[in-house]
Homo-oligomer: A and B are copies of this chain.
Amino acid sequence: MAETNRQWILAQRPTGEPTHDDFELRETEKPTPDANEVLVDLSYMSVDPYMRGRMRDAESYAEPWDVGDPMQAGAVGTVEESNHPDFDPGDTVVGNLRWADYVAIDGAELSHVRTGDAPVSTALGVLGMPGRTAYFGLYDVGEPTPGDTVVVSGAAGAVGSTVGQLAKLAGCEVVGYAGSDEKVRYLEDELGYDRGINYEDEDVRDALRDATDGVDIYYDNVGGPITDAVMDHLNVDARVVVCGQIAHYNDTERPTGPRHFGNLIQTRARVEGILVRDFAPRFQQATERLAEWVASGDLTYRETVTDGLENAPDAFLGLFEGENIGKQLVKLD
């Protein structure tokens, strides 16, 4: 009796906002691992804003996904069968896998999950790619000094919720933008943000000027009018960490906006992009520190969990509506 495997295929490239028509759930046979391959039974998969870029046929830091091919995702799962010396059945692993029930993949593409006492799902969030992105983006690119004012956009998301707490650990004042009162309460009451701004209700410029006399570090997950407001309120020698631009990922034309280079001369600010894979040699360092802070309670996290592989596109589409608080996951068991 051949068991089946379901996996999501990129059915077509989205134009603007993705829709369900762009995804196709295809049933195939459960894969059999070849030499050196490991068969993984997926437990959680991640949906992330960067995936919108992979659906686009454009030059980028990673190859676009091909139409008709399975979609990829960071995922954790359990080894069911292994032809690779580093993995045994029952091991919990993480890697860049697929939107699928099962994956057979070269063991070289997998890592053992090391989360200490935290749930394995954190390997996709606070102890995974988003947590490390926050860590290296803030500490290595942002270079915080105690007393700095740090502003975070997308502050209640997987990356932003970690950035704010890491900034507090570094002795900074922290202001966050989020899109609902519930999220703002989360920032202020649970994450230790000094001030949350609800960008749906408040004027993004006035609220920032109320919150601070000037910004030393801006951690940008969003782009758009929030970024424009912060760029006009930078202190001398400010650092701007460009991590995400979700406000623009569904744009069908090149986005335009106010030019910011004049501000950079005034302030001698530095604007720099962050891509976490550039820091791969130090992933272990970051993950260990983040895990210690989670264990000590210095670093908290939330997960928004969507149940069932069949609902993965909904979880992904929800990112663009700001439906998640913290890390958006899909539970696959």
Interface residues of A (CB under 8 A from B): 59-61, 220, 223, 227, 242-245, 248, 254-259, 261-275, 278
Contacts and interface: CB of A to CB of B under 8 A. Distances in A.
A227 B220 CA distance: 22
A226 B272 CA distance: 20
Given A60-B266, A256-B256, A245 B271 contact: no
A256 B228 CA distance: 11
Contacts of A264: 242, 271-273
The binding surface of chain A is classed by DSSP as: mixed
B265 A245 contact: yes
Contacts of A272: 264, 268-271
B274 A271 contact: no
Contacts of A255: 258-259, 262
Contact of A242 (B243, B248, B261): B261
A139 to B, nearest CB: 16
A257 B242 CA distance: 18
A268 B275 contact: yes
* Max count, chain B CB within 10 A of own CB: residue among A261, A265, A267, A270: A261
A242 B265 CA distance: 6
A101 to B, nearest CB: 32
A269 B243 CA distance: 12
Given A267-B273, A272-B268, A261 B60 contact: no
A123 to B, nearest CB: 23
6 closest Cβ pairs, A-B complex: A264-B273, A265-B273, A271-B271, A270-B272, A268-B273, A255-B259
A255 B256 CA distance: 11
Given A255-B258, A256-B258, A273 B269 contact: yes
30 contacts: A59-B266, A60-B266, A61-B265, A61-B267, A220-B261, A223-B259, A223-B262, A243-B265, A245-B265, A248-B259, A254-B258, A254-B259, A255-B258, A256-B258, A257-B257, A257-B259, A261-B273, A264-B271, A264-B272, A265-B273, A265-B274, A265-B275, A266-B273, A268-B275, A269-B272, A269-B273, A270-B270, A270-B271, A270-B272, A271-B272
